[in-house]
Chain A
Amino acid sequence: MGLLSRLKKIFTGKKPEQPEAGSGSANAPKAVTVPKARPGAKPAVTPGDVKVKKNPRKIEKEEKPVAEKITIGHVHMSGCTGCLVSLADNYGGLFTLLDNYADLNYCLTLADVRDIPKMDVALVEGSVCINDHHSVEDIRKARKNATIVVALGSCAAYGNITRFCRGGQWNQPQHESYLPIADLIDVDVYLPACPPSPEAIRNVAVMAYLLLRGSDEQKELAAAYLKPLMDLAKRGTEACGCDLMIDVIGQSLCIGCGTCAATCPVRAITIEGGRPNINRDLCIKCGACYAQCPRSFFNFDVMNQFEAIGEAIDAAMGKGGE
């Protein structure tokens, strides 16, 4: 019950409608640190990636409309920018994020800052080409300068499609070795998928904000939400559709729900006889199927409050996606 009352307080300053015994809300601080979006703040109608660039004030360090904002940087390694586009595809929600919770203080695509600065959260997209010393220096620097490093997307987390590189491509034929970032640095949070959905990035950004700027209670909620993604970061840097065979079916945990098949970005999974069948030639090793599977992780403390958490994030940030 705890999380529900906490969330209501976090986002609205109100107590939940359902009276709950011993929620202890009387002495809790009224923490309205996450302001609700204006009622009219529906996702913008125009495509978001155009408008993003028209928002230069977001990167002006001196302007601090909300004292407690966190700083987020987007570190671009060998990725296709799809993960960044997915972040931008929160449309109106992206503005809410940048207005109220976070300054984007580094992002080669959207912000005119050359060197990787100190930041609270580094969203790293792409794997590291170890044949390119700039990339290696950048990933080291990102680790040194960031409090939390998030592997944003499957290339950063698992190598993904860049695992298939064999070099010989124009115009850097000698570039042939691409490593998931956790092969070189410690990574705190994994957010796999190719690309991770706008909503997933939004949720993680909100939770990172609460973890760093929230009250003790808010930190506890954010930690509970982020824990499975932190565990994924510890689990290893190799992913494949085979994970379903090894770590789900092989562990007697598969229930044939079909989530993995719906998740796969390249439709490599079909459900045959109630179990996933992986076309291993199609699999790009993104790791999304395993992460999305209800039997890779399922944290009841968070999931049981799905309705309140979903409502609160939507109210604060907009629904994400279109």
Chain B
Amino acid sequence: MVLGNYKDCVCARAADPGILSASQDGGIVTQLFACALEHGIIDGAVVAGQGDEPYKPVPIVATTVAELLEARGTRYNVCPNVSMIKEATRSYGLDKVGIVGTPCQIQSVRKLQLYPMGMRSVGSKIALAIGIFCMENFSYQGLEAMVEDLCNVKMESACKMDIGKGKFTVFTERGAVSQIPLKLTHKFEQPGCHVCLDYVANLADISTGSVGTPDGWSTVFTRTKAGESIWGKAIEAGYFETKPISDVKPGLDLVTKLATDKITKNQKTLDERVSFGVGKGLRNPYL
């Protein structure tokens, strides 16, 4: 189960250069939500909007393409998207809701559908759950330390951040690029990530990330019937350029390797938690 159940996997990017201009990778998330909005598949989507400080996201319910565009790009710190899922069906009155989230956030979504204790009339309204690959996440203060102290870039002058090929990279408005080895960032990871057993959002309708495909492109898994149907419509309507995943480098092998590495490492952490103290351990959330 390292890559979860999926029906298809392709390399893709948004056909619209206007979306790609500020998306993190192939603009899959933004383009798919825009497509789903235009086709009436969703009435709105919970995405990471701009918070009150640079690169600090807050969840928002986007009901227009303009709002989706505003929320493009990865912010490497916690954005509690699931906190808005009920509100989207209440104050916003949406009947068909989209949500983007890290694998753990998609797990929350599935749990609230199968065990909807405090989630009346929410689960059946989730029409599209897009998962983004995720190795780890950081607190805002952690990200600030990485960007300002280690990369020597002011948060407000950063225009993009990226993790890939073993490096954390910050790009600035004026064209400077600052890079540090990823291992310097490990100590800022949120502790809850160290027991996470999902890299590619196994439980999403569609999941996507940069790993596996060339720069500017994305790896896309379609996983559920809902996901397959929406992806089919989007392809038919010409929203995406695609290539077979077997034709691109580094391809699925790298995705599988990174997923296996993550799960193996975090399973070890879970095992170590059992005997963390002396004759006493820490709680295992998966029991």
Contact = CB atoms under 8 A, between A and B. Distances in A.
Contacts of A194: 118
Interface in B178-192: 190-192
Interface residues of B, number: 57
B117 A197 contact: yes
B115 A203 contact: yes
Interface string B75-119: 001111111111100000000000001101101101111111111
B131 interface: no
B225 A257 contact: no
Contacts of B176: none
Output the residue of B79, B116, B121 with the most chain A CB within 10 A. B116
Contact-size category for A: 35 or more
A187 to B, nearest CB: 16
A274 B124 contact: no
Contact of A259 (B82, B124, B285): B82
Contact of A320 (B1, B124, B140, B141): B124
Contacts of A71: none
A274 B142 CA distance: 12
Interface in A145-161: none
Nearest to B142: A274
Contacts of B120: 86, 197-199, 321
18 contacts: A194-B118, A247-B283, A254-B190, A256-B80, A257-B105, A258-B81, A258-B83, A262-B82, A262-B118, A263-B112, A274-B78, A288-B117, A294-B104, A294-B285, A298-B285, A306-B114, A310-B114, A322-B121
Interface of B: 1, 4-5, 59, 77-87, 101-102, 104-105, 107-108, 110-124, 137, 139-141, 190-197, 202-203, 224-225, 282-283, 285-287
Given A300-B286, A307-B225, 16 more contacts: A86-B120, A192-B117, A197-B118, A252-B282, A254-B190, A254-B192, A255-B105, A256-B79, A256-B137, A257-B108, A258-B105, A261-B83, A264-B118, A292-B117, A292-B118, A294-B111
- Lowest 8 CB-CB distances: which A-B pairs, in order? A258-B83, A258-B80, A274-B78, A256-B78, A288-B118, A263-B118, A197-B120, A321-B121
